[in-house]
Structure 1
Amino acid sequence: MPSHDGLHRPPEGDPSVYPPLDPRRAAALREQLGLTHGQVAWAISAFLAEPLHPVTLLAWEQAAEVPTGRQIKALAAALWCSPAELLGEPATLVQCRTLLGVTVEHVAAEVGMTRDRYADAERRNRWRGSARQTQALLGTLSPPPACFVAACGRTGQLRVLLREAVTGWWPNYVHPVTKIVPVAQTEVQRALEQLHLTYQRIDNHGEAGADAEAVEQEALAFLDRIEEHLWDRLRDQGA
């Protein structure tokens, strides 16, 4: 529910409304401050008014356990940073909104939908807005490309296009991919060219006398994660 100040207050015990904790960021911030697991766990315990064992903090940093929203806030306080500095990339519409700290009503008004219709889109993580509403959503929530494509239910279609692009004539796929992925066409073009070259280097290993089966397995593994490779390239480009 929204609070008196209009900001969204997500359920404190529900980690799904938050982007995932980035274990490397959490560990790096703690190390930069020169703090031990015990010292940070003590500060978290004081914030929560309940004990937290250093082993639990270690489990967070090793991605073996997932902290609740309340625990993320306590960890941020212990490390003198904002919760956003500890979190990874949002994967759903609700995580995008939670990270911004705005209400369902605010986003619904911005995109020109009824509250119930937008809330249903968040609940299902399925976006079916018009072109104008989609542009408004992108401007309001700024979802990462992977999050937006998943919410539109087009990850499978994108995967097919990317596989065809890296194994064939990639320039033919710049426009179709750009219609799915909400980044500049120049960024898509650069990423597709890099992915194509990477795949061709793998595929050409066989011509150099490498074990054919090993080359085939490496190529298949690359294709199996093709959309993840695209997101990595776009992140590296700052898209």
Structure 2
Amino acid sequence: MWAVRRPPAQPNQPNHPNRSSRRTPPTPPFDAPAARRLRAALNMGPEHVAYGMRASYGLPYVTEDLVIAWEREIATPSSGELTALAGVLWCSPSELLGKPRTLREHRLARGLAPEDVARSVGHELPAYLRMEELDDWRGTDRQSAALAGLLGLSLPDFITVTGRDAKLADLLRSAVTTRWQAYVRPVGKMVPLDRRALETALQELHQDYQGQMTATLSWGGDNSDSSAAGREFLNRIVDRFWTTLQAISP
């Protein structure tokens, strides 16, 4: 058996018991298959990657076993480790990232320092870092537009990063279970889209949901079957909304 060796916790590290009250920074979304593919393309073994990270990036604890653990998704590299790994593999950090989900992950994917983002959007650095830590974006419309441009956020990503997914999901659930027409304006205020496209998307979602519920009962399913189908539809309502919009867009 091989063991994954990590550096011992130091008093100034977030995971040291003397500082347990502090949050440990979340690790970036790591694309393990991409790391394996890039390493293989360079004809490098895990031991070569580990040596490069130790020799060139001052990470003495990185071993062959740790690199293997990353590639097998047993462990996840920290932000600093990911940057060093990208250097050894001659790629950008974004090539080793999975799909970004949070504000911090989108920043990492762009290879930007928090100072760069804070300055560009007009926030003080401590305030911006707190937003990343709590995953709670607080900015004016102008600052939000600057953030979207700087990080290259799509509309779905922008809604997620600014913490509006839950509210959008609530509006969409109400739209498909009641009268969708009443929710065109509230959804439109949150999602700046062409009104006609928005109306078409809400109408199609409403029809899909109602049709699925009707079909479940007409196939002889009991109320539990219908409820399960309805819950599954509503749980993924935001994803269905973006997929529907994409399908109807020219």
Larger radius of gyration: 2
Following superposition, the deviation at residue 180 of structure 1 comes to 2.2
On the 8 A contact 2:118/2:125 being kept in 1, the answer is yes
Question: What amino acid maps onto 2:63 in structure 1?
Answer: P
Following superposition, the deviation at residue 149 of structure 1 comes to 3.2
Question: Normalising by the residue count of structure 2, what TM-score does the alignment of the two structures yield?
Answer: 0.66
1:109 maps to which residue? 119
In structure 2, relative to structure 1, the CA distance for the partners of 1:78 and 1:140 (3 Å cut) is closer
The counterpart of 2:230, out of the listed 190, 197, 219, is: 219
Q: Return 5+ residue gaps in structure 1 as ranges.
A: 1-10
Separation of aligned partners in 1, 2:199 and 2:49 = 46
Percent of residue pairs identical = 31
1:7 maps to which residue? none
1:48 maps to which residue? 53
Map 1:134-173 → 2, pairs under 5 A: 134-145=144-155, 147-173=157-183
Deviation digits for residues 45-93 of structure 1 (CA, Å, limit 9, x no counterpart): 2332442237524532xxx432333553465567664332332222222
In structure 2, relative to structure 1, the CA distance for the partners of 1:191 and 1:132 (3 Å cut) is same
Separation of aligned partners in 1, 2:94 and 2:246 = 17
The answer to whether the aligner puts 1:59 opposite 2:64 as a matched pair is: no
The counterpart of 1:21, out of the listed 23, 27, 30, is: 30
Question: What amino acid maps onto 1:99 in structure 2?
Answer: A
Separation of aligned partners in 2, 1:102 and 1:180 = 27
Following superposition, the deviation at residue 161 of structure 1 comes to 0.5
Deviation digits for residues 86-127 of structure 1 (CA, Å, limit 9, x no counterpart): 322222222222222223333233223333333333333222
On the 8 A contact 1:84/1:99 being kept in 2, the answer is yes
In structure 2, relative to structure 1, the CA distance for the partners of 1:25 and 1:144 (3 Å cut) is farther
Between stretches 201-210 and 68-77, larger displacement belongs to 68-77
In structure 2, relative to structure 1, the CA distance for the partners of 1:178 and 1:25 (3 Å cut) is farther
On the 8 A contact 1:48/1:74 being kept in 2, the answer is yes
Question: Normalising by the residue count of structure 1, what TM-score does the alignment of the two structures yield?
Answer: 0.68
Deviation digits for residues 189-238 of structure 1 (CA, Å, limit 9, x no counterpart): 56545533432332122343231221321111221232344355567889
Deviation digits for residues 131-178 of structure 1 (CA, Å, limit 9, x no counterpart): 222222222223354554345443332121110122234354344223
In structure 2, relative to structure 1, the CA distance for the partners of 1:88 and 1:159 (3 Å cut) is same
Separation of aligned partners in 2, 1:189 and 1:149 = 19
Separation of aligned partners in 1, 2:207 and 2:200 = 11
2:9 maps to which residue? none
SS at match of 1:101: coil
Following superposition, the deviation at residue 30 of structure 1 comes to 6.2
2:211 maps to which residue? 201
2:4 maps to which residue? none
Separation of aligned partners in 2, 1:160 and 1:187 = 20
Separation of aligned partners in 1, 2:245 and 2:32 = 22
Q: Taking CA–CA contacts closer than 8 Å with sequence separation of 6 or more, which of the two structures ends up with the larger relative contact order? A: 1
On the 8 A contact 2:25/2:133 being kept in 1, the answer is no
Q: Return 5+ residue gaps in structure 2 as ranges.
A: 1-12, 14-23, 55-61
On the 8 A contact 1:41/1:57 being kept in 2, the answer is no
Question: What amino acid maps onto 1:227 in structure 2?
Answer: V
In structure 2, relative to structure 1, the CA distance for the partners of 1:67 and 1:167 (3 Å cut) is same
On the 8 A contact 2:34/2:95 being kept in 1, the answer is yes
